[in-house]
Chains A and B, each alone.
Chain A
């Protein structure tokens, strides 16, 4: 047995018994220290004949790297053991509750307005707005509803002045007038906003939200109106098909006027929109009355188009199964948390309107 083999076997015997870093350090010194066994052999190397030296050097280097690798490996082994030993005492109960945080929510009306805007954005509508306080002229007269028109009875109006010249808008339609007076045709807008009627019971709130739509151009027909609303309803309720019917009605500011019903049925106590034997009225619409265009400085001989109006709160109720309109405005923490939307759920047309 050569000297090197001897060293190797001594080393192997020792390293197997090493228990901690200290003992490992001792071995390291014993073999690689200044006077260590390996270091001694390197000194001995010089005294060898050149023909033997080459082989011995190669053997020695091999055993050196082999042993130091073993030491290194042993070091990691011990270190791991030590860490694992330490971790045994570091166990926490991960079933304990997380750090408290408050989850913010978006109100269903806001969420639905975002959804609606996203849908109409796809087909080229822009969002317009108008003031909550309106003139009697913009709210009624300009919309072809003169003072002695019985249709005014259908709007229970809040007034700010005795002469009734200033009021809280009863619908978003006056924004049609404002938009048309402030621009040039074509017009393609939607107007979500607050509207007011002094009426309050289980199904009526003194303030609610309406969505107005207006599309005026040279050749817009009732066919476009139908197509636009069909598209909207289908997208909004996120269904493939919707049974929809137009029913003649009357609004002073459109002619012809229609109310739109959609089919629905009740399944397991929940409303299913789109199909079924029952009809649900969801909006009013029509071709903008020539008198309205005239009042808004648009030439009715050149331009024509459609307008529609619908209740945003009601759309939200139908889509998200909310029963009570009044609760929308009562700021009950529990209700807001229950029906509110995560702020990350921004309706988009590529990711989908809703989760």
Chain B
């Protein structure tokens, strides 16, 4: 909502200056977004005429226009608008002008090799409307060539952001009323107008009792024998200051009343109405051409204003071309109605129309302003365009009963924390237009018809504190007391995982929860896709089912920038259904490239599956799963290299899936065209990480260390090639948990001297007893046992 101080002062008697007014506005919840200087800068925009149009030699869509601004000089301006043509009167912006929409300062510039001195403007570029197609077309302005389009003395405009509950402040008067309640000034009364109602209201108006009827009241008057014309300067300036384009006196006056009183009106060319006005539900498929020059196909049950043969307008949203007023319009029907906010909203949304009237009606117009709006507009039309007015007819519902709230002022203190005096409350209410009656315990507060947002006592409390001032609320220091844990187990895991991965050299990233379905498919075969109906772009069209999708996309982007040795991770949701909660938190990490690339010290080597396995195992143990509970096998998913990947499960192969790790499938690498194709990943599923039932301190055994010498024995087993070494180690470990302290494979060999279907595995075993130093005899005994058990369980022989 834009206002100017002089306009405001037509409703508010105040000595306050602009700065004081702006501060007050902000303090009462009418936030000032900005103040725009309309004066000098805007004076640079000149009314101009295109004298000649030539094709641009280097661009099909561009034209070179010879532009005159009334002087002898002809300006060459490059323009891309379709409607740029010889003889067109439009608005010219010279170099140095600042385009209001983009805040871009124009310079003399070469456009595709041709110099352009400034530009010709569209309505949207000047913030006059949203119309961005083509440049502005002015009519009857040839005499004004070279004059500033915006009056250089027009007022500074103050842009106020009005919250959706404050429909009443979508008019200057409403803002003045709110300001008056702060004590900054006095709200001036609207002066009564007297009419000689000499014309006959010759158009019958009926509101049909249709099931969806969105129009609750319809007021109108007939004005005949007018002379429609350009508005007088004062009116044009008012509208221009608001960023509107003056059209004709009749239209400008209806707009003026809308912005002045928040009372939308509509004027019909009465001679174009077929017999009568019928307010009804639309029929399915009915068509109508609106004033935005678009044709709309209506659905059943939209509120339309029609005559005997056509739809003339969408009530409260937009009028139609059939009965639009023109400069030659002689007789008009002026409409002032009340439409249901929900009906307006539904229709406008379904047709995607946004207008100033719709914006106001959907927020709630004062239903008791129907007559006032008609009177003020009729008065102005008679003054500017002449003619005779009929009586004012208002049909439909009567709105003279206001809501009454019984308000207990002690509720104010309960909620806000500071008391309010009942007299102070009464004073604030009155200044806002509420009627108050004191009764014993409470105030009987009657809400004015322009405040549909006030329905219960908290709304009244807000009004009081808003005007009393939020700065009067006394701050209460928070108590430093904690009664429940800040984080639950899963949340602790989440935070710990971040630090755990980052401490292993991974950079944490945060990516969208949605991704490109084409990439997501690569990583989530066979799972159902979860589509977003209105994605921001077609390559962000599904919720990610795999944590890898976005990581892979971004890994590639980084590789393309020349960074190949990368470790990235993200912890976040992946989705397996479109219902709330069908999601889980997954840690995903990708690393690509080499270790020690170009190091003088270390031999460079490619990352391999054991690098990523280390990361998985280390992370899981840091998350609290004891290493002996981590069961690793080679079951894997399709997105991994089938031979170089694995699973980590809890305790056994039947246990919950803790993680996958391994090389990303070469087919995916190829399809996504990675520059550095050596890529490994890990996925850890946090929901499967078990929550210990006890604290570590409760489960930790007493410290016991043997004082006796430890011994080592190395074994080389020749075993089936496919036999899993993890299992072999486990078999040995289980032979004697007391004696065997550690089992470690230190070499795996296949080749010469070993049968083709076998491998040689060298294992180091550490032996230690609690009660003595093991003798040669003891050691021989246990070694023999190890060899026997291994042979027994695996068929392996000791390598000689």
The answer to whether B470 touches A160, judged by C-beta atoms less than 8 angstroms apart, is no
Q: Give CA–CA (A154, B501) in the complex, Å.
A: 38
In the docked arrangement, what's the CA distance between A259 and B161, Å?
Answer: 13
Tell which of A7-15, A20-28, A56-64, A125-133 binds the partner. Answer: A125-133
Tell me if A272 counts as interface (CB < 8 A to partner B): no
Interface string of A131-167 (1 = CB under 8 A from B): 1111100100000000011110110001111100010
Q: Which residues of A contact B27 (CB under 8 A)?
A: 247-248
Whether A329 contacts B512 in the complex (CB less than 8 A), given A100-B599, A247-B27, comes out as yes
B491 and A129 form a contact (CB under 8 A): yes
Contact B508 A124 (CB under 8 A): no
Given A150-B345, A207-B513, A332-B558, the answer on whether A100 and B596 have CB atoms closer than 8 Å is yes
Contact A114 B495 (CB under 8 A): yes
**Beta-carbon contact of B507 and A336 below 8 Å:** yes
On chain B, the residues within 8 Å of A150 by CB distance are 164, 345, 362-363
**Is B185 part of the binding interface, using a Cβ–Cβ cutoff of 8 Å?**
no
B507 touches A223 (CB 8 A): no
Query: Are B509's CB and A336's CB within 8 A?
Result: yes
Asked if residues A287 and B458 are in contact (CB atoms below 8 Å), the reply is yes
Total inter-chain residue pairs, C-beta < 8 Å: 263
CB within 8 Å of A: which B470-515 residues: 470-471, 473-488, 491, 495, 498-514
Q: Kindly provide the distance from the CB of B665 to the nearest chain A CB, expressed in whole angstroms.
A: 22
Q: Are A227 and B476 in contact (CB under 8 A)?
A: yes
- 13 new A-B contacts, CB < 8 A, other than A245-B470, A329-B510, are A100-B599, A135-B580, A161-B533, A194-B573, A222-B416, A227-B478, A247-B26, A248-B27, A249-B163, A256-B458, A256-B461, A329-B511, A343-B502
Chain B, residues 543-556, CB within 8 Å of chain A (1/0): the string is 10000001100100
Contact check, B508 vs A224: say whether CB atoms are below 8 A apart: no
Is B417 touching A333 in the complex (CB atoms < 8 A)? no
Residues of A within 8 A of B504 (CB): 104
Do B417 and A222 have beta carbons less than 8 Å apart?
Answer: yes
Within 8 A of A (CB), among B502-538: 502-514, 530-536
Question: Given the known A-B contacts A104-B508, A290-B458, A346-B499, are A223 and B474 also in contact in the complex, defined by CB atoms under 8 Å?
Answer: yes
- For the complex, would chain A's binding face be called helix, strand, loop or mixed by DSSP majority? mixed
Q: Is the CB of B478 within 8 A of A248?
A: no
From residue 212 to 267 of chain A, which have CB atoms closer than 8 A to chain B? 219, 221-224, 226-228, 230-231, 245-250, 255-259
Closest residue of B by beta carbon distance from A156: B534
CB < 8 Å: which of A102, A153, A162, A231 contacts B533? A162
Is the CB of A87 closer than 8 A to any CB of chain B? no
Asked if A258 and B346 make an inter-chain contact with CB atoms under 8 angstroms apart, the answer reads: no
Which residues does chain B contribute within 8 Å of A221, judged by CB atoms? Answer: 414-417, 476
3 interchain residue pairs of minimum CB distance: A248-B29, A223-B417, A102-B505
From known contacts A124-B482, A206-B512, infer whether A97 and B600 are also in contact, taking CB-CB under 8 Å: yes
Give the nearest-CB partner of A304 in chain B: B415
Report the Cα distance A222→B417, complex, angstroms.
Answer: 6
B131 within 8 A of A: no
Q: Is A1 an interface residue (CB 8 A)?
A: no
Does the CB pair A131–B510 fall under 8 Å? no
Query: In the bound complex, do residue A246 and residue B473 qualify as a contact, i.e. CB atoms below 8 Å apart?
Result: yes
Interface size on B, residues (CB 8 A): 100
Partner of B473, one of A105, A166, A222: A222
Which candidate, A33-41, A44-52, A72-80, A115-123, is the interface stretch facing chain B?
A115-123
Tell me the complex Cα distance, A130–B581, Å.
Answer: 8
Q: Is the CB of A247 within 8 A of B29?
A: yes
Which residues of the partner chain A approach B459 to less than 8 Å between Cβ atoms? 255
Would A131 and B471 be within 8 Å (CB), given that A102-B567, A150-B164 are in contact? no
Return the chain A residue nearest B566 by Cβ. Answer: A333
In the bound complex, CA of A334 to CA of B563 (Å): 9
B480 close to A96 (CB less than 8 A): no
Which B residues are in CB contact (< 8 Å) with A130?
Answer: 580
A337 at the interface (CB under 8 A from B): yes
B293 CB-CB contact with A under 8 Å: no
Q: Is A268 an interface residue (CB 8 A)?
A: no
Q: Tell me which of A227, A248, A329 has the highest count of chain B C-beta atoms within 10 A of its own C-beta.
A: A248
Q: Does A101 contact B (CB under 8 A)?
A: yes
Chain A residues, CB < 8 A from B534:
158-159, 198
Instruction: Verify A105–B28 contact, CB threshold 8 A.
Output: no
B99-127 Cβ-contact flags toward A at 8 Å (1 or 0): 00000000000000000000000000000
User: CB within 8 A of A249: which of B31, B551, B597?
Assistant: B31
Provide the bound-state CA to CA distance between A250 and B565, in Å. 50
The reply to whether B532 and A160 contact each other, CB–CB distance below 8 Å, is yes
B575 at interface, CB cutoff 8 A: yes
B558 near A333: Cβ-Cβ < 8 Å: yes
Q: Mark B163-176, 1 if CB is under 8 A from A, else 0.
A: 11110000000000
Q: Is B465 an interface residue (CB 8 A)?
A: yes
Is A196 an interface residue, CB under 8 A from the partner? yes
Say yes or no for B602: interface residue by CB 8 A criterion: yes
Partner of A100, one of B462, B491, B567, B595: B595
